[in-house]
Chains A and B, each alone.
Chain A
Amino acid sequence: MQIVLPVFEHSIYSVILAASILIGIIVACIMMRRAGAKKDTVFYTALFVFVSIVVCSFTMSFCFTGNIKDIGFVGAGGALGVLVGAGLSIFIHEDHMSDSLSAWIITAPLMYGLSKLACHFSGCCYGFKYEGPFVVIYKGGDYVEAPLNTPLFPVQILESVIFILIFITGFILYGKMKSTINASLVTIVLCVFFKCLLDIFRNRGGLRISSNKIMAVTVGTVSIIFILLAKKLIMEYEDGSKQSKQ
């Protein structure tokens, strides 16, 4: 079975990417509201996380390429943006802190998974040469980075499916686990593991230590350390507020 990509006049990358961020933000807002957060908290957190995703992504791509014309969205930058935005917001609002932080972290793989469909259609982040079931073949389009008329491994679709499954796992754990922060930690570990694993199937990836793997491990480690610190601070804050009520 072959997946032959249609040729578009212009790249639809940015449209799918914007839609994936928007869907992720809406899902996180619904999760926050269901956890009991106030409307104001949800609105300002969503606004700040959106700005944070854009700023962190653009900064990271600027640091990589060094050219302001080449800035764009980077997965690790987006993940860092979610962490910074949601992490700062919970300490500003002090409203359902652990549930709010966890809602955003659990939604991050959904945003990433959907955004990989944008890579699939625009022909970037493509897989290695491969002849087997579900091969991807690009026929044309000046925006396509991948080699044309060459059977490639469908790594972008595989990433989409796996990261959406990680989101579903995180969402179920969020509902079932007593501490929602632990659900977000499990989600981060799964994301880092699968990001490194799937990088092997990319054209520029393989078994070598690529920049993608380094970025994934770095952002994952920073996130875990930040969440553990945040968990401690949230517990101290909740103990303090309980004592002041008594």
Chain B
Amino acid sequence: MDQNNQNNNGYMNNDQVPVYNPGVMPGQAPQYSYQQPQNVSVDPNIYTNEDRKKANILCIVSLICFFVVPSLEVAFFKMINTISVNLSGNTTSEIVRGGIGSISFMAAWALMIYVRVRYKKSIFGKVLMWLYISMVIIFVIFIVAIIVACGQAIKNCPG
């Protein structure tokens, strides 16, 4: 310990041979590095069993929002149209239909991104991300294909 201290202070070793230590000048206090203790609970790299469960639940909710809610909504409005009145052309019904579908779709994306940010090591979250990205790519290819094939899709502003 003493030997180490002497060396660190730039003086002499046990054999009294002068040792040059450029890091610390004579008479200067040795510098100690201090690391701030990290808050473990918010670190996204730490992935416990409980985190996995939470991530999986969020991913399942995201999948429901992405696939189940829009399908149920379409089925519900088709059922109403066949049973009672035809709602197509009714502005309120269009707003409700469009609103529910888009909100659930956006919620699905938001939950997936939340999982990817908070629980980086969740495999379900990673799979979900690539599933959604591939669906966006398929959608873009589909639109491009229609444009190239017949030049009909999105040819000017709708309103």
Given contacts A14-B155, A63-B91, contact A48 B109 (CB under 8 A): yes
Interface residues of A in 36-74 (CB under 8 A from B): 40, 44, 47-48, 50-52, 55-56, 58-66, 70-74
Q: Which residues of chain B have C-beta atoms less than 8 A from A119's C-beta?
A: 156-157
Contacting residues of chain B (88-147) with chain A, CB-CB under 8 angstroms: 88-91, 94-95, 97-99, 101-102, 105-106, 109-110, 113-114, 116-117, 133, 136, 143, 147
B153 within 8 A of partner (CB): yes
Stretch at the interface among A5-13, A25-33, A162-170, A218-226: A5-13
Question: Does any Cβ of B come within 8 Å of A122's Cβ?
Answer: yes
Q: Chain B nearest CB: distance from A182 CB in Å? A: 27
Cα distance, A116 to B4, chains bound together (Å) = 73
Known: A48-B110, A56-B102. A70 touches B158 (CB 8 A): yes
Task: Report B-chain residues with C-beta under 8 Å of the C-beta of A65.
Answer: 158-159
Distance, CA A11 to CA B155, complexed state (A): 5
Interface size on B, residues (CB 8 A): 31
| Segment at the B interface, from A84-92, A128-136, A184-192, A230-238 | A84-92
Q: Check if B40 is an interface residue, CB within 8 A of chain A.
A: no
Report Cα–Cα, A191/B156, bound state, in Å: 22
Interfacial chain A residues near B1, Cβ < 8 Å = none
Q: Does B158 lie within 8 Å of A74, measured CB to CB?
A: yes
The dominant DSSP class at the B interface is helix
* Bound CA–CA A32/B154 (angstroms): 31
Interface range on chain A: under 10, 10 to 19, 20 to 34, or 35 or more? 35 or more
Contact A13–B156 (Cβ < 8 Å): yes
A9 CA / B102 CA spacing, docked (Å): 34
Q: Tell whether, in the assembled complex, residue B154 and residue A55 are in contact, meaning their CB atoms are under 8 Å apart.
A: no
Looking at B95, B97, B143, B156, the one whose CB has the most chain A CB atoms below 10 A away is B156
Interface of A is mostly: helix
Say whether A194 faces chain B, with CB atoms less than 8 Å apart.
no
Chain A nearest Cβ from B152, distance in angstroms: 9
Which chain A residue shows the least CB distance to B157? A124
Chain A: CB-nearest residue to B140: A18
Q: Assuming the A-B contacts A55-B106, A64-B159, are A14 and B113 also in contact, with contact meaning beta carbons closer than 8 angstroms in the complex?
A: no
Known A44-B117, A48-B110, A55-B106; contact A63-B155, beta-carbon cutoff 8 A: no
Tell me if B151 is interfacial: C-beta within 8 Å of chain A.
yes
Cβ A62 vs Cβ B116 within 8 A:
no
Are A51 and B154 in contact (CB-based, < 8 A)?
no
Nearest chain A residue, comparing its CB with the CB of B111: A92
Expressed in whole angstroms, the Cα–Cα distance for A54 and B58 within the complex equals 24
**What are 16 inter-chain pairs, A to B, with CB distance below 8 A?**
A9-B151, A10-B147, A11-B155, A13-B154, A13-B157, A14-B155, A17-B154, A51-B106, A58-B102, A59-B102, A63-B91, A63-B95, A74-B157, A92-B117, A93-B117, A123-B156
Q: Which residues in B have some Cβ–Cβ distance to A below 8 Å?
A: 88-91, 94-95, 97-99, 101-102, 105-106, 109-110, 113-114, 116-117, 133, 136, 143, 147, 151, 153-159
Apart from the given pairs A56-B102, A66-B90, 15 other A-B contacts in the complex at a CB distance below 8 Å: A11-B156, A47-B113, A48-B109, A48-B113, A60-B98, A71-B158, A73-B157, A74-B158, A74-B159, A84-B106, A92-B117, A119-B156, A119-B157, A124-B156, A212-B159
